[in-house]
Each structure stands twice: as C-alpha cells, then as structure tokens.
Amino acid sequence: MTKDTRPRYPGTCPECKKTFHATKSLAMIEFGMNDFGGGKCVYCNTHIHLTFRPETQDFEAEHYETYLEKLKIERNWPPKT
C-alpha cells in the first residue's frame, strides 16, 4: 500500500471544538467546488459539512443540519404551491 501524501488542512468541530485535519474532496480538487465536503468528526462522531477556505488554507466546519437549513432558505425549498 502506498502512503497517502495529499495535503491535510485543519478544521474545528462545531460540536466538541476539537481540531481535526482533513484532505480536500475530489470535487474540491478537480472542480474547485470548495463547499463540497463532509463527514463525521473523528472525536465526537457529529455529522459535519466542510467548506475549504483557500485564503486561510483551512476548513470551516458546521453542523450538517445547519448547512441543510441554509440551503433550504437559499433555494426557497420546499416551493410554495
């Protein structure tokens, strides 16, 4: 097995406030979609959404539910009939 040499960037879990390190997702690397990351905190298992911030070379982490609520507001979902 080869060693993973991809760069790792810091982020802070919004739940337990511990610092973790993660790599960029394929969508972030290949398509520049810096708000297309997610996973679970390695310490408290909270679902988190990750946005890569190129200016500070780190991840902004937020609760996944918070991210979904923001998307609903941005996209006016569900549509009013």
Domain coordinates in residue numbering, the chain? 9-74
User: In whole angstroms, what is the distance from residue 79 CA to residue 51 CA?
Assistant: 26
| Amino acid identity, position 45 | N
Q: Closest Cα to residue 25, out of 59, 1, 56, 55?
A: 59
Q: Which residue has the tokens 């991809």?
A: 6
For the stretch 25-75, pLDDT in tens is 989 999 999 999 999 999 999 999 999 999 999 999 999 999 999 888 888
Task: Provide the whole-model pTM.
Answer: 0.83
